[in-house]
A and B are shown apart, each in its own frame.
Chain A
Amino acid sequence: QSALTQPASVSGSPGQSITISCTGTSSDVGGYNYVSWYQQHPGKAPKLMIYEVSNRPSGVSNRFSGSKSGNTASLTISGLQAEDEADYYCSSYTSSSSYVFGTGTKVTVL
Chain B
Amino acid sequence: EVQLVESGGGLVQPGRSLRLSCAASGFTFDDYAMHWVRQAPGKGLEWVSGISWNSGSIGYADSVKGRFTISRDNAKNSLYLQMNSLRAEDTALYYCAKDPYGDYVFGNFDYWGQGTLVTVSS
Q: Which A residues contact B (CB, under 8 angstroms)?
A: 1, 3, 32, 34, 36, 38, 40, 45-48, 51-52, 57, 89, 91, 93, 96-104
Please, how many angstroms separate the alpha-carbon atoms of A40 and B45 in the complex?
A: 10
What are some 21 contacts across the A-B interface (CB < 8 A)?
A1-B62, A3-B44, A34-B106, A34-B108, A45-B113, A46-B95, A46-B109, A46-B112, A48-B110, A52-B108, A91-B47, A93-B105, A93-B106, A97-B59, A98-B60, A98-B61, A99-B35, A101-B37, A101-B46, A102-B44, A104-B44
> Quick check: is B115 within 8 A (CB to CB) of the other chain?
yes
How would you classify the secondary structure of chain B's contact residues: helix, strand, loop or mixed?
loop
From A1, A32, A97, A101, contact of B45 by CB (8 A): A101
**Interfacial chain A residues near B105, Cβ < 8 Å:** 93, 97
Instruction: Contact check, B113 vs A99: say whether CB atoms are below 8 A apart.
Output: no
Interface centre among B95, B105, B114 (most CB of A within 10 A): B105
> Quick check: is B50 within 8 A (CB to CB) of the other chain?
yes
Chain B: interface size category: 20 to 34
List which B33-49 residues lie within 8 A (CB) of chain A. Answer: 35, 37, 44-47
**Interfacial chain A residues near B46, Cβ < 8 Å:** 101
**Interfacial chain A residues near B114, Cβ < 8 Å:** 45
Please, how many angstroms separate the alpha-carbon atoms of A100 and B50 in the complex?
A: 12
Please judge, given known A-B contacts A45-B112, A48-B108, A57-B110, whether A99 and B47 are in contact too, CB under 8 Å: yes
From B59, B95, B112, contact of A98 by CB (8 A): B59
Measured CB to CB, the closest approach of chain B to A30, in angstroms, equals 15
Nearest CB to that of B60 among chain A residues?
Answer: A98
Please, how many angstroms separate the alpha-carbon atoms of A99 and B97 in the complex?
A: 13
Measured CB to CB, the closest approach of chain B to A7, in angstroms, equals 13
**14 extra A-B contacts, CB within 8 A, seeds A36-B108, A45-B113:** A1-B61, A36-B109, A38-B45, A40-B45, A45-B95, A45-B112, A46-B109, A46-B112, A48-B110, A57-B110, A89-B45, A91-B109, A101-B37, A102-B44
